[in-house]
Amino acid sequence: MTVIEVSELTVRYGAAVAVDGVSLTVEPGELVALIGPNGAGKSTVVNTLSGLVAPASGSVAVRGRLAHVPEGRQVFGELTVEDNLRLGGWRYKERDTAPIFAVLPKLVELRHRRAGLLSGGEQQMVAVGRALMSRPDVLVVDELSLGLAPLVVADLVAHLKELNTTGGLAVLLIEQNARLALDLCSRAYVLEAGRIVAEGPSAELAASDRVSGAYLGGVVADG
Ligand SMILES: Nc1ncnc2c1ncn2[C@@H]1O[C@H](COP(=O)(O)OP(=O)(O)OP(=O)(O)O)[C@@H](O)[C@H]1O
Ligand SMILES: [Mg+2]
């Protein structure tokens, strides 16, 4: 059964229309990218999935557990890494942090540190780990790579791939780095000014003039 189903979603902030008739789906175990320029409405779409923003019209259905890594990480800075993780499992009474340390082993040595004092990349790992604590069926990541060094990003991508292949985790990925998003995900949507302007298999999108020119620097991706 489709885990995320967004139908004809419209969201307004006051008089401004931020999202205008967007439909998208994520199937179980699927890796799907949502790309588009700043202000396109990407965060608004995913914020309706976790109930942070209310639709003006249209509908949003989530089947199963959804975990959201919000834009800007938003770890609890005063709390330790371990307590941040525990909070992620609170809603579903999931207390065991061991599986998270197993997939994100770098967090082990940081477990007693205050999250606010960690580097950006370390905080992003905490944010991902915290989201995984709820044992989600689908993980929504809003800007995975923002501000992170390429090696840290590669590491996180490898973890997501592993969770996808071994655990069947579905992922909806918002990403500034379109190449990374299209490489990781099999399918993608392109959002511009609140509307989906292109969608389809990542390879096809990467080869299209619209995506190649605007998002991949005009060079057709080879992967
Ligand atoms: N809380 C809010 N109140 C009013 N306007 C908002 C609010 N949040 C977002 N907007 C506006 O809605 C539009 C879509 O914003 P959104 O954050 O969804 O875009 P985005 O695609 O995630 O952009 P970015 O890539 O910069 O994160 C923008 O014009 C933004 O200024
Ligand atoms: Mg955003």
Give the per-residue pLDDT at 223. Answer: 45
Ligand 1 pocket test target in 6, 10, 11, 13 with most atoms within 8 Å of CB: 13
pLDDT tens figures, 117-176: 999 989 999 999 999 999 999 999 999 998 888 888 998 899 999 999 999 999 999 998
State how far the alpha carbon of 153 is from the alpha carbons of 17, 124, 148, 171, 181, in Å: 33, 10, 6, 16, 11
Residue 175 carries which side chain, given as an amino acid letter? Answer: E
pLDDT at residue 219, rounded to an integer: 53
Residue 124 Cβ < 6 Å to ligand 1: no
Q: What is the rounded radius of gyration, in angstroms, for the C-alpha atoms of the chain? A: 17
Tell whether ligand 1 has an atom less than 6 A from the beta carbon of residue 43: yes
The predicted model scores a pTM of: 0.94
Best residue for ligand 1 mutational test, from 44, 45, 172 (most atoms within 8 Å of Cβ): 44
Distance between CA atoms of residues 68 and 152, nearest Å: 20
Q: How far apart are CA 94 and CA 96, in angstroms?
A: 6
